[in-house]
Amino acid sequence: MRAGKNFLFPFHPDPERNINFPSALLLYSSVGYGTQTPASLTGKAIGGVCAIVGVFILTLPVPIVVNSFASYYKNRLWRNEVAHKRRLRAQEQTRCT
């Protein structure tokens, strides 16, 4: 049987292979998902805050990389445009002479 079509909460009949979005979030945020879980409300709150902060820390460099790429790409487009205008100007000068 294949996994369900629902992205957030897919279902697999084998509980060992059943993974969904919340458990994946815990795995990726370095909090872990295992047999030991907090029992008190305070422990659950601290675990949730740790999971969210972990995701934020992992995604923090993304805007820096995107901004750097956008700056490089804009500079490259400008250089290509200038080079194209120079070529056109050189072709016009050879035609005129």
Token representation of residue 48: 């949730």
Same domain for 15 and 29? yes
User: What is the rounded average pLDDT for all residues in the chain?
Assistant: 76
Token representation of residue 89: 């100007």
Same domain for 68 and 55? no
pLDDT in the model for residue 73 = 92
CA distance 79 to 33: 50
pLDDT in the model for residue 24 = 64
Same domain for 70 and 40? no
More confident residue, 89 or 17: 89
CA distance 87 to 79: 12
pLDDT digits (tens, 9 = 90+) for 42-87: 887 887 888 788 888 888 888 888 889 999 999 999 999 999 999 9
4 pLDDT exceeds 50?
no
Find out whether 12 and 1 touch, Cβ atoms under 8 Å: yes
Task: Find, among 9, 43, 49, the residue nearest to 29 by Cα.
Answer: 49
Percent of the chain exceeding pLDDT 70 equals 61
Same domain for 9 and 45? yes
Structural domain boundaries enclosing 72 = 61-97
Same domain for 97 and 54? no
Same domain for 50 and 13? yes
